[in-house]
Structure 1
Amino acid sequence: MSRSVVCPRNAKSTVLRIIHRALLAMIGSLVVLPTSRAQDNAALASDSDFEQRILRVVNGLRPATSGRPMTLVDRMNELHVPGVSIAIIHAGAIRARGFGHASIGGPPVLPETLFQAASISKPVTAVAALALAQAGKLNLDGDVNLSLKNWKLPANSFSAQSMVTLRRLLNHSAGVTVRRFPGYAADTPIPSLRNILNGEPPANTAPIVVHHEPGAQFEYSSGGYTIVQQMLIDVSGKPFQNLLEEVVLKPLGMTHSSFLQPLPKNDAQIAATPYQATGAPVPGGPHTYPELAAAGLWTTPTDLAHFALGVLDAWTGRDTSLLSQATALQMLTPGFGDYGLGFVVRGRSPHQRFLHEGDNAGFLSSMILFENGDGAVVMTNGANGGQLASEIMHSIALEYDWPDGRP
């Protein structure tokens, strides 16, 4: 069973709230009412086209282990992934569809079902940091300790060689520790941000320190984004989740997104349950991630699609209310390897694209957007969801004729 929703990319947030509440059955979809019969006919034709295409996508997955196409349902069963939520971005519209269940034996996945975005939190955080830098409140290339007030990055022989800067934290070249965070299971004490930064109990990760010369190499670091979290709090004087709501989520109409960890009860009722690779539920339900900047976003594929389009609009200069075009160009310029300031950036114009993946306990996700405005977001509630998301993305790439036929 699936559920779908359609959102025009330029709808106001009040309209988006109405759209997000409206749900139709498997072959149904929703559009904002057009103003003329010609527009009505065009919308219906577009919906019909999407329905045909999404059916081909979900019936044409090609696993590496099988030479024959397989259905999404079959692959979900094989990989023990109970639920999948997909948003496809094409021709100026976002069309979303849910498949499977938010929890085994529970409600179906709907377009507004919440999933943990995991590391896709990082580009959202990066946009907020760049917005503050653009406003003159942060220095992309200054010593981060000049912006940090309530905690300082310990100096050592590596930081003496070169500065740790915001730019280097965002593009993972600052040489700092802690690659990823495992989160905190239910009934586990939750550490403060200072506990996490210092690696003090009840934190379950090591201290965040410089262990390579900054600016010398790429080394993925979720710890680096936790330093950014402290910087944003110190510079703005606001709780991180409030700042991100103000600077990114609300302006982009991301009405089903939140950095609250754990989720409030009302939101938890519409959130997916995470599952392990064996198909068993993650004990106690979703882990809590106080490392908000690196892994703390709860969201939907539709909201992430709006986010990606907001970045694209800034990059192309179409709409610079989120970021200036110059700032967006910096964000989407690769540094070491193919990592920009928050996103992985691949390809060359006219086929350049930006993307990111996420991996929290029982939640795997993937997003991509090409410079021509085509893209997709896939979110799952299974530990094997990364493989499934990759197969779905490949099927979408073939159906929508993405460059090279792949993400």
Structure 2
Amino acid sequence: MKQISHLDDIPSTPGKFKMDKSPYNRLRWHSSLAKLTFWSFIFLALIFIFFFRSPSSSTPQSLSDPSRRYLQNYSWGGAAWEKRVRSSARIRSRNGMSVLVTGAAGFVGTHVSAALKRRGDGVLGLDNFNDYYDPSLKRARQALLERAGVFIVEGDINDEALLRKLFEVVAFTHVMHLAAQAGVRYAMENPSSYVHSNIAGLVSLLEVCKSANPQPAIVWASSSSVYGLNTKVPFSEKDRTDQPASLYAATKKAGEEIAHTYNHIYGLSLTGLRFFTVYGPWGRPDMAYFFFTRDILKGKSISIFEAANHGTVARDFTYIDDIVRGCLAALDTAEKSTGSGGKKKGPAQLRVYNLGNTSPVPVSDLVSILERLLKLKAKRNILRLPRNGDVQYTHANISLAQRELGYKPTTDLQSGLKKFVRWYLRFYADGKKSGV
């Protein structure tokens, strides 16, 4: 593994963001009883289908269901382990916070963890290092964070014993929950992994957080995918989100309803962030900009989708630095949870924000930018947009995040892709990692 000796491609640390409190400093989700009932049934049905059905063969459950194998073979505990956990989570700045970052070896998790650590907050990571994409990239991110002083505990968010132990060792003030099964198309191959991570995993985490004393404030990653088949653009937090186009989107929407429930019953402070197509250095190999770069360099053809009647497919590409600033602002403005010992003491903060760039770009233009940066011509294969959960376009209305978080994206696609390509060429320069 090639060692990266500097952190040029990790975003600069925003200062701690504080806002004057106002009666408009939260977005309340006014869900009707019928809506809550509907999503409750969806949630229970998914749990029944994927967790309580009998195995179809004599194959052991842990082997036949890839989503379950990550609960096994982890080693944690002991005096030395606890010392590393405490050291990583120790606050080193005045008025800092102690943050548990789930999915810390992931794309967004790595950048957020590094930014928090640089400004003096205590940070402890948690990740199961699954093989949805090349684990060696996750290990490289882990090495990057270790040099920055961030310890990543290897474990699964469904392991409640581990979660309870972490909260026993450290009184976390905040949780940044980024662990999830990502990707729209993979849901057609392994749907149970989405229920396992995005629904059951979220419930496991919230169960532990509700019982913690003190309860932490929680910021978690929802998705722009919840807007599903909406045709009104740009997408606003006030728009309907009951038409998911993929199982991934449905699990993220279910997560928002679950968050509402735990806020209402247990007084947990919860902020959901709907990310719009995040890209940049150390990104995910399953994202189009990443594998387009790989295949253009290899001289392979790339598939570019178009909608019916040659309609444009566009995305609201958002650079990682902008997403990090939004995440940190959400943490900084999160109010304390109001429960104690699993019992609600008063109303708690509940918010949801779009974090996007507000400038949708056709995917064909993305390819043209990569061609200029790589100085190579792409072999384009134009295909009809398949019915696999992908939507034709995404476009974020970020006025609420601008007003309440001070969120303001500053990086256009040309500039962001230039930074990504520079990182990609350096990271894969030895020619041995190009198979990701």
Query: Would you say same fold, with TM above 0.5?
Result: no
Q: Larger % of helix: which?
A: 2
How does the TM-score come out when normalised to structure 1? 0.30
How does the TM-score come out when normalised to structure 2? 0.29
